[in-house]
């Protein structure tokens, strides 16, 4: 069994310092193997924001795997945006844009979906999809495989026309063929979970967990949240923990059990 925390959309520069402290305290109360950070660490990719984000990461109670988001690319400085989009992210957070965590039970692979030429929408290139596939093929079948991106593969409930990652159908079919069972993402500042096949019927079954904004005041109709995920080879439990003005508490938990080729909600 493995327990991982999935936090997203920190937006340092727009963070609530009380929530930052409460989140760190809450994370410290669980036996985590890893903390996944699915992008938008900063509000405007300013140096001061990256320094604050870095300081936060260094206070996390266990190791972390991080990918960038669209807000980690400068918005207004066009020269910087087009020629060196992730320079500050690479300088202050990590220069590994395809990070991997692996132990005897889980493998977590991150991919950068943020692009200079589109502000809000995410993309995966054919080369990234191939690289993920090649890495995953080398991991034993018994290891639970997880992908992390900033942008969403699954629109939020009730918004079927919402844009998803460019090449999502190709990426998802490829990832499913090499054993991916779970995708973690953010960007929308709304937490939800479902099977990706509800939007991509060509798939058999991949569970998607979207995290809300963990510590920022950029609310999109819900408070600060993060996902606490418990994994076994044949079960996924996704607890959404919500800020209530004082601390983080369980808000809801979704449980999925593997039945043959499919994940069934319990």
Comparing CB distances to Fe ion, the nearer of 128 and 210 is 210
Contacts of Fe ion in 135-194 (CB under 5 A): 187
Comparing CB distances to Fe ion, the nearer of 220 and 259 is 220
CA distances, 114 to each of 149, 160, 243 (Å): 9, 22, 27
Q: How far is the CB of 66 from Fe ion (least distance, A)?
A: 14
Task: Give the angle subtended at the CA of 140 by the CAs of 258 and 184, to the nearest 5°.
Answer: 55
Comparing CB distances to Fe ion, the nearer of 6 and 187 is 187
**CA atoms within a 13 Å half-sphere pointing along the CA-CB vector of 179:** 18
Q: Which of 5, 7, 9, 196 binds Fe ion (CB under 5 A)?
A: 9
Q: How far is the CB of 163 from Fe ion (least distance, A)?
A: 12
Q: Is residue 221 a contact partner of residue 190, using CB atoms and an 8 Å limit?
A: yes
Comparing CB distances to Fe ion, the nearer of 114 and 132 is 114
Q: Which of 70, 112, 128, 227 binds Fe ion (CB under 5 A)?
A: 70
Q: How far is the CB of 12 from Fe ion (least distance, A)?
A: 11
Q: How far is the CB of 204 from Fe ion (least distance, A)?
A: 29
Instruction: Give the binding range for Fe ion (CB under 5 A) out of 12-20, 66-74, 244-252, 256-264.
Output: 66-74
Count of residues that interact with Fe ion, criterion CB under 5 A = 5
Q: Which residues contact 195 (CB under 8 A, 6 or more apart)?
A: 205, 206, 207, 208, 256, 262, 263
Contacts of Fe ion in 187-216 (CB under 5 A): 187
Should residue 69 be labelled a site residue for Fe ion when binding is judged by CB under 5 A?
yes
Instruction: Give the binding range for Fe ion (CB under 5 A) out of 65-73, 128-136, 192-200, 251-259.
Output: 65-73
Comparing CB distances to Fe ion, the nearer of 110 and 197 is 110
Q: How far is the CB of 76 from Fe ion (least distance, A)?
A: 16
d(CA 66, CA 112): 10
Comparing CB distances to Fe ion, the nearer of 13 and 69 is 69
Instruction: Give the binding range for Fe ion (CB under 5 A) out of 6-14, 56-64, 136-144, 173-181.
Output: 6-14
Instruction: Give the binding range for Fe ion (CB under 5 A) out of 12-20, 70-78, 82-90, 234-242.
Output: 70-78
Instruction: Give the binding range for Fe ion (CB under 5 A) out of 5-13, 25-33, 141-149, 230-238.
Output: 5-13
- Residues near Fe ion (CB under 5 A) are 9, 40, 69-70, 187
């Amino acid at each position: 069994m493995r327990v991982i925390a999935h936090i997203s959309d920190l937006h340092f520069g727009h963070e609530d310092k009380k929530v930052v402290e409460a989140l760190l305290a809450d994370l410290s109360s669980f036996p985590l193997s890893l903390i996944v950070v699915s992008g938008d660490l900063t509000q405007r990719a300013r140096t001061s924001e990256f320094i604050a984000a870095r300081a936060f990461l260094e206070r996390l109670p266990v190791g972390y795997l991080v990918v960038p988001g669209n807000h980690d690319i400068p918005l207004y400085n066009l020269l910087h945006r087009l020629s060196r989009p992730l320079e500050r992210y690479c300088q202050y957070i990590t220069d590994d844009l395809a990070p991997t965590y692996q132990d005897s039970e889980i493998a977590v692979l991150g991919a950068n979906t943020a692009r200079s030429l589109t502000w809000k929408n995410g993309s995966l290139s054919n080369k990234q999809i191939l690289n993920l596939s090649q890495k995953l093929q080398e991991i034993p079948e018994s290891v639970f495989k997880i992908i992390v991106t900033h942008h969403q593969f699954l629109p939020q409930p009730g918004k079927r026309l919402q844009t998803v990652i460019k090449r999502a159908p190709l990426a998802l079919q490829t990832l499913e063929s090499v054993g991916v069972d779970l995708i973690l993402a953010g960007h929308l500042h709304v937490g939800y979970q479902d099977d990706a096949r509800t939007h991509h019927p060509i798939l058999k079954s991949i569970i998607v967990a979207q995290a809300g904004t963990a510590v920022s005041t950029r609310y999109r109709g819900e408070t600060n949240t993060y996902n606490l995920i418990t994994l076994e080879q044949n079960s996924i439990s996704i607890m959404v923990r919500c800020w209530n003005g004082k601390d983080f508490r369980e808000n809801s938990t979704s449980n999925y059990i593997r039945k043959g080729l499919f994940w069934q909600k319990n």
